[in-house]
Structure 1
Amino acid sequence: MTTDPHEVLVPVADGGLLWAGRGGAGSPVVLLHGAGMDSRLWDAVVPGLARHHDVIRYDARGLGRSTPPNEPFGDVEDLRAVLDHFGVRRASLVGLSMGGETALDFALAHPERVAALALVGASVSGHDWPESPELAAYSAARRARDTAALAELELTICAAMGRTAPGGHLVETMVAANAERRVVSEQHCVLTTGRDAAPHLGEITAPTLVVHGRHDHREIAVISGRLATGIPGARGETIADADHYLPLRAPERLTELLLSHLP
């Protein structure tokens, strides 16, 4: 695992602690991972980014090395706590999946604190996912707290390129390690911005890059198109050799895109 020169535990509401790492120099960039993952998602991207930016990444509440929640919390508030802890007034946000959703919600709630957005295989609050057998099974596993089924479905639906693709071992390790933790975390997570992002994409003022992998779930491609057309001036990119775990599948290409976009 890539080590961060500065690793801390950031205090958040209800006495929780978020593991966070910081390294590099330049304008600040915060990396936000998806559900069922942790900050190791960015291992292959951090070295290249840190040569040009002050890079902060953290494990979302209850995932990775962060403590589980004991009461309702909001991902937007947790992100603000991380920025405040490091004394960062304004940063670029790079978010994948759930992390992209958090970045969008934060940009709507605190536009003055966001220098740029990069949304990677992002979800978006307020988007209606169509019904399908695979997603119905996924939801049933979450309700039943069947963590083994949840992990297997996560890999089947989101890691289409399989274990032999770049980053395959780490993908499986992260999913297995976080399957039970994510169930606990999601039960306590609440939407605290007071709005869904989907109807308000036109209000995003930060320069935005939208990226998704060609082998990602088909609905992620739909969402990426919606983001690229709905956010003023947004730029869309598709990476051929990547699925939902894009930062591990195609780190060099993603790093190249980020360095060309981030201020």
Structure 2
Amino acid sequence: MELFYEVEGNGVPIVMIHSGGVDSRVWRYMVPGLAKSFKVITFDGRGTGRSPAMQEPTSLVEDLRKLLEHLGLDLVTLVGHSIGGQVATDFALSYPSMVERLVVIAPSLTGFAYSQEFTKYIASVNAAAPDIARLVELSLAAPIYRATMASPHRSFLTEMHNHYMRRVFTEWRSFEVLWPEPPSIERLEKIAASTLFIQGTIEWPDMYNIAEHFKRVPAIRFAEIKGADHMLVLTHAEELADSIRQFCYS
């Protein structure tokens, strides 16, 4: 298995898929609590943390499938944050028999048309390349990081972001991610797994529009964490772990 992964605990397997701009260390505050009840698998997505760099167009969904096969797991709960939520959603649609429960935390969504506000922000960050310090500064200045950057987690998030940006601009040879077709936004009503959608209240307006689309999932419930921003996996780890635990036992 090419991807770096770690397994903690015993019981029903939960696979955690991290967001962009960080690596699997982002789950460090959630794993200990969850591992008391579940077998928790965390991994560094391709090009992040201790996993190999992107060298060619890559399917993150197929990377996940290969990891589960390597671990001998044929039925799991997926927990995905941001783009990790996008991967989890696409995986649940591509391999429905392998996903018992789906938890998406402030997810992105294939096929979703993002707002001009968001696309302008992304363009302004990308324009700073290859100045790593400036890329990190602009990226973390977004309003969706306001609570985290005012918290004790500021330095940890900044360090992970720096590590990610350095790898992207010194090691990656491809930036193309391959996604299943048709895009998941057109197929959400086909998700068979029981689903939990969690978000904070400090988010892009786009997140609320994505939540509206997820209402088409047949078996879904929604949870909102007041005062949390996009990195609620750091600032509200215990509350998130409790929500996941209750969802899995419901």
Fold shared by both chains (TM-score > 0.5): yes
Write out per-residue CA displacement over residues 192-216 of structure 1, whole angstroms, 9 at most, x where no aligned residue.
4222001111000100000001112
Once residues 180 and 230 of structure 1 are traced to their aligned partners in structure 2, the CA distance between those partners, rounded to angstroms, is 39
C-alpha deviation, 1:186, in angstroms: 9.2
Letter in 2 for 1:127: F
C-alpha deviation, 1:223, in angstroms: 1.4
C-alpha deviation, 1:138, in angstroms: 1.9
Once residues 11 and 199 of structure 2 are traced to their aligned partners in structure 1, the CA distance between those partners, rounded to angstroms, is 26
Once residues 13 and 241 of structure 2 are traced to their aligned partners in structure 1, the CA distance between those partners, rounded to angstroms, is 15
Change (3 A) 1:197 1:185: farther
Q: Identify the residue that residue 67 of structure 1 maps to in structure 2.
A: 52
Once residues 198 and 121 of structure 2 are traced to their aligned partners in structure 1, the CA distance between those partners, rounded to angstroms, is 27
The one of 100, 106, 109 equivalent to 1:124 is 109
The residue correspondences of 1:193-204 to structure 2 (distance < 5 A) are 193-204=180-191
Write out per-residue CA displacement over residues 7-31 of structure 1, whole angstroms, 9 at most, x where no aligned residue.
xxx2xxxxxx211000101100000
Q: Identify the residue that residue 51 of structure 1 maps to in structure 2.
A: 36
User: Contact 1:96 / 1:122 at 8 angstroms: preserved in 2?
Assistant: yes
Once residues 18 and 92 of structure 2 are traced to their aligned partners in structure 1, the CA distance between those partners, rounded to angstroms, is 16
Q: Identify the residue that residue 138 of structure 1 maps to in structure 2.
A: 122
Q: Identify the residue that residue 102 of structure 1 maps to in structure 2.
A: 87
CA RMSD after TM alignment: 1.9
5+ residue gaps, structure 1, are 1-9, 11-16
Once residues 33 and 119 of structure 2 are traced to their aligned partners in structure 1, the CA distance between those partners, rounded to angstroms, is 35
User: Contact 1:241 / 1:249 at 8 angstroms: preserved in 2?
Assistant: no
Once residues 173 and 180 of structure 2 are traced to their aligned partners in structure 1, the CA distance between those partners, rounded to angstroms, is 16
C-alpha deviation, 1:36, in angstroms: 0.8
Once residues 137 and 174 of structure 2 are traced to their aligned partners in structure 1, the CA distance between those partners, rounded to angstroms, is 20
Once residues 19 and 159 of structure 1 are traced to their aligned partners in structure 2, the CA distance between those partners, rounded to angstroms, is 27
% identity of equivalent residues: 32
Q: Identify the residue that residue 12 of structure 2 maps to in structure 1.
A: 27
5+ residue gaps, structure 2, are none
Once residues 130 and 254 of structure 1 are traced to their aligned partners in structure 2, the CA distance between those partners, rounded to angstroms, is 27
* Partner secondary structure for residue 18 of structure 1: coil
Q: Identify the residue that residue 236 of structure 1 maps to in structure 2.
A: 222
TM-score normalised by length of structure 2: 0.92
The one of 146, 165, 169 equivalent to 2:151 is 165
In the comparison of the two structures, how many residue pairs are matched?
246
Letter in 2 for 1:145: A
Change (3 A) 1:52 1:162: closer
Q: Identify the residue that residue 237 of structure 2 maps to in structure 1.
A: 251
User: Contact 1:211 / 1:224 at 8 angstroms: preserved in 2?
Assistant: no
